[in-house]
């Protein structure tokens, strides 16, 4: 079953601006992961945050996790045209990832 | 860098035909998965496979579907009698889970078109 829900469903911003996407989930998790999917391509793992972590950085990516609210956010700073893609959150329980519907991010030049 | 490879990249088939999608997971990975994504929709879990048997499957993975690891490298998804609604991208993924990171490595997908 799908438990992650991202919002917004779509986001269009100017190059250079920051993009924030949110993910909510329903059950307890071991970790939460974010993936990127370019149109028609496979999914690429971006970052993983464990249930006992609150914030994590990787390059221009910043992920937060609030287990009390069962939510996470992905921030992409200084966006670039190449960041145009769909972004999915996935929660990890017992060896199966449960996926959200994704946020489609468009970076306008 | 090791990667998951999938073949074919695109297959067109007639309704009712059998289809086999092939995947070569990363060699030292232990867990293998098939996911499906209908155009523009969510990624949907189909099945996970560990130690030569199915560990979990979704309600989508009915009797028309089967998976196999026929040798030490390939991992296949068979659809016995395809239906129009099976048209989708099928993604194979693998992970080692030994460090409990849970990161999945995905192939580029096989696009199945059922006519």
Chain B: which residues have CB within 8 Å of chain A? 4, 31, 41-45, 48, 50, 55-56, 89, 91, 93, 97, 100-109
pLDDT at A98 over 50: yes
Mutate to test the interface with A, among B31, B58, B102, B106 (most CBs of A within 10 A): B102
Q: First vs last Cα of chain B: how many Å apart? A: 37
The band of A2, judged by pLDDT with boundaries at 50, 70 and 90, is: very low
The domain defined by B5-97 carries CATH number 3.30.390.30: no
Of residues A36 and A101, more confidence is placed in A36
**The tokens of A58 are what?**
């990787």
Spell out, as residue ranges, where chain B has pLDDT lower than 70. Answer: 97-101
Q: What is the pLDDT of residue A94?
A: 66
**Using CA atoms, how far apart are residues A100 and A87, in angstroms rounded to an integer?**
9
**Using CA atoms, how far apart are residues A63 and A47, in angstroms rounded to an integer?**
8
Please state the separation of Cα A88 from the chain's center in Å.
5
CATH number of the domain encompassing residue A13: 2.60.40.10
Kindly determine whether residue B43 and residue A48, on different chains, have CB atoms separated by under 8 Å. no
The band of A3, judged by pLDDT with boundaries at 50, 70 and 90, is: low
Per the CB < 8 A criterion, the answer to whether B13 and B65 are in contact is no
Mutate to test the interface with B, among A2, A96, A102 (most CBs of B within 10 A): A96
Determine if residue A77 is left, alpha or beta; phi over 0 gives left, psi from -120 to 50 gives alpha, anything else beta. Answer: beta
List CB contacts (< 8 A) between A99 and chain B.
42-45
List CB contacts (< 8 A) between A92 and chain B.
102
The domain total for chain A is: 1
Count CB neighbours of A73 within 10 A.
Answer: 17
The band of A99, judged by pLDDT with boundaries at 50, 70 and 90, is: confident
Question: pLDDT, tens digit, for every residue of A21-51?
Answer: 999 998 888 899 999 999 888 899 999 999 9
Residue ranges making up the domain that contains A47 = 5-108
């Amino acid at each position: 079953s799908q438990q992650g829900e991202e919002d917004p469903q779509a986001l269009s911003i100017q190059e250079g601006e920051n993009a924030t996407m949110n993910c909510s989930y329903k059950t307890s998790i071991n970790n939460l992961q974010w993936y990127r999917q370019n149109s028609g391509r496979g999914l690429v793992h971006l970052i993983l945050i464990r249930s006992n972590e609150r914030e994590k950085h990787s390059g221009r990516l910043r992920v937060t996790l609030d287990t009390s609210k069962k939510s996470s956010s992905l921030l992409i700073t200084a966006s670039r045209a190449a960041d145009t893609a769909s972004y999915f959150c996935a929660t990890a329980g017992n060896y199966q990832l449960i996926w959200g519907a994704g946020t489609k991010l468009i970076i306008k030049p | 860098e090791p990667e998951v490879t999938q073949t074919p990249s695109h297959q067109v088939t007639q309704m009712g035909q059998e289809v086999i999608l092939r995947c070569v997971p990363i060699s030292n990975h232990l867990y293998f998965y098939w996911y499906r994504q209908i155009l523009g929709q969510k990624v949907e879990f189909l099945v996970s496979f560990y130690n030569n048997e199915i560990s979990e499957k979704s309600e989508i993975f009915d009797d028309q579907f089967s998976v196999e690891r026929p040798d030490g490298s390939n991992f296949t998804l068979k659809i016995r009698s395809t239906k129009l609604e099976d048209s989708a991208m099928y993604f194979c993924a693998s992970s080692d889970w030994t460090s409990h990171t849970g990161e999945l490595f995905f192939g580029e997908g096989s696009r199945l078109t059922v006519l």
